[in-house]
Amino acid sequence: MKTTTLFLSVLFLLPLFMFTACGQNTNKQNNPKKAISMETPIKKPGNQYYSNTDTTKLNLTDAEWKKVLPEDVYEVMRHADTERPFTGKYWNIDEKGTYYCASCGNKLFRSGAKFASSCGWPSFFEQDNKNSVIYKTDNTLGMERTEALCGRCGGHLGHLFDDGPAPTGKRYCMNSIALDFIPDTK
């Protein structure tokens, strides 16, 4: 009797399970490969490439960037200029929130990774995710340094050093002007 009941239960539940499983598969097939972000969309007037939700990589010309970026942002982010220390808007703030690329809106850092550095530029010990920041060897000014660039648009952010605090020992030394800070909603 028990075996019959078990058999009937399985017979009844199997189609339900199959339907659910098929539903999941169909969903996966319909979803594009691009990651869907749950972030609140942020727009930047005059810069149609700016998005904190679209992770598609950007490969624009210098002329295209010049059209959409303010001159000071353009000089730092496209020509690797450096803002003067202790002058940027973020070097000494300690609010909870997220830092995005000022050129393209890519999510770069969370405030929890920011630390008080005496260098005069906003400093972080880790990037938000593997697509936030990419690196390039920089041999300018007679030094060998690691340049830190936005992982989405390739814009210059600053440099990466090995004298940061635990747990990573890294110091992402960033130009404030290359960042947009959005405070957490309370």
Residues of this chain that interact with Fe ion (CB under 5 A) are 101, 103-104, 106, 150, 152-153, 155
Q: How far is CA 138 from CA 34, 58, 93, 134, 155, in A?
A: 31, 22, 28, 13, 14
Q: Which residue has the tokens 């496209």?
A: 78
Please, what is the minimum distance in Å from the beta carbon of residue 153 to Fe ion? 3
Strands across the sheet with 97-101, in order? 107-110, 97-101, 179-183
Q: How far is the CB of 50 from Fe ion (least distance, A)?
A: 9
Identity of the residue, 106 or 123, whose beta carbon is nearer to Fe ion in the bound complex: 106
Cβ of 73: how many Cβ atoms within 10 Å?
20
Which residue lies nearer to Fe ion by CB, 104 or 173? 104
Least distance CB 171 / Fe ion (angstroms): 20
Q: Whose Cβ is closer to Fe ion: residue 16's or residue 53's?
A: 53
71: which DSSP letter? H
Active site residue 173: yes
**Residues that are catalytic:** 173
